[in-house]
Amino acid sequence: MVYDKSDCHATSWSHPRCTLSLYLTVCVLSAATAATHAETRLIPDAPSRCEACAEWNKPQTPFRIFGNTYYVGTAQLSAILIRTKDGLILIDGALPQSAPLIDANIRALGFDTAEVKLIVTSHTHFDHVGGVAALQRATGAMVAASPSSAQALREGRPAQDDPQFASPDNRFPRVVDVTVIADGEALTMGDVAITPHFTPGHTPGGTTWTWRSCEQQRCLNIVYADSLNAVSAEGFLFTTRSGRSPLVDAFRRSIHTIETLPCDILLSPHSGFFGMADKLRRRAEGQSDAFVDATACRRYAAAASARLDQRIAREREMHKRGEAGETTRTRP
């Protein structure tokens, strides 16, 4: 889709050339607006409080992963920056108290946080979208998400059919302005197109993102795979006594999606899920391609499938013993 930047207004996405179509083209803010944003100081929201929050939020030196793709998150919570010729794309915002660290990491790499024009998300839990509201306020960026995730972002809490909806202290700062995207329809900004793959299971609106990144003549497929853990609040079941398990069916489809994606570099919302610390160590030891692994997505999916099987087995035992009734929450 070819477009003229002059067709797009910095404060509105309602122009015909700015609406969702087969490929959603992200309209670039004017230079004057970007300059205004550059003078805006990021003001973080109140911090989330949890037992693991301090550990999750330990600082991490930002680094280039490959080509135009950078890690700007904390030691354990991912935030990914993609450089395009028309601005920056940010994936995930970690905790509310992570927003200043992400801002500082972007600047430490020599970029201007005000150049973030698009923010997208993996799943709407406080440890991955908590910083999105502050980052959007500071940059004026468009926030785009799946229908379920968009609703959760606007409400500042997980969707009611989220397995962790009933977990305590799970709210996060509301994001008022969210654009709804469609499964498989690429968002294009400048010379980069990122594609959302809806992967429900961990949350109903979970989204995996893919794009191509190049260094000179070498281009690789990068996958930011959403969490595939079947964890929940107490009392939530993925299965039913009747044996009908639409949640499990959706989960298995999501696992298959990630398993079959073209994948040279795997990233995910928790840095431990893709072995970041070990890969950085190996890179420091001279393995320049430490992050490149064409088998990583398949292994990620296989591990998720094994964990889901274990969860299903536990629930079936509960059903047999009569300790559980029908699932308390389901989604179509």
Q: How far apart are CA 196 and CA 254, in angstroms?
A: 12
Q: Using DSSP, state whether 145 is helix, strand or coil.
A: strand
Residue 20 reports pLDDT greater than 90: no
Band the pLDDT of 323: cuts 50, 70, 90. Answer: low
Q: For residue 100, what are its two tokens?
A: 């200043």
Residue 48 burial (CB count, 10 A): 23
Q: How far apart are CA 289 and CA 298, in angstroms?
A: 18
| 60 secondary structure, DSSP code | -
Average pLDDT over residues 296-302: 98
- pLDDT digits 0-9 by tens, 213-265: 999 999 999 999 999 999 999 999 999 887 678 999 999 999 999 999 999 99
Residue 157: φ, ψ to 5°: -160, 160
Q: Using DSSP, state whether 83 is helix, strand or coil.
A: strand
Q: How far apart are CA 327 and CA 245, in angstroms?
A: 9
| Domains of the chain in sequence order | 5-321 (3.60.15.10)
What percent of the chain is helix, strand and coil (3-state, nearest 5)? Answer: 35, 20, 50
Distance of alpha carbon 318 from the chain centroid: 33
DSSP characters over 201-253: SSSTT-EEEEEEEEETTEEEEEEEPPP------TT--SS-TTS--HHHHHHHH
Residues of the chain with pLDDT > 90: what percent?
A: 80
Q: Using DSSP, state whether 56 is helix, strand or coil.
A: helix
Residue 128 reports pLDDT greater than 90: yes
Pick the closest to residue 173 from 142, 231, 127 (CA basis): 127
Radius of gyration of the chain (CA): 20
Q: How far apart are CA 276 and CA 266, in angstroms?
A: 10
Q: How far apart are CA 296 and CA 264, in angstroms?
A: 8
Residue 186 reports pLDDT greater than 60: yes
> Does the CA dihedral 152-156-160-166 come out positive or negative?
positive
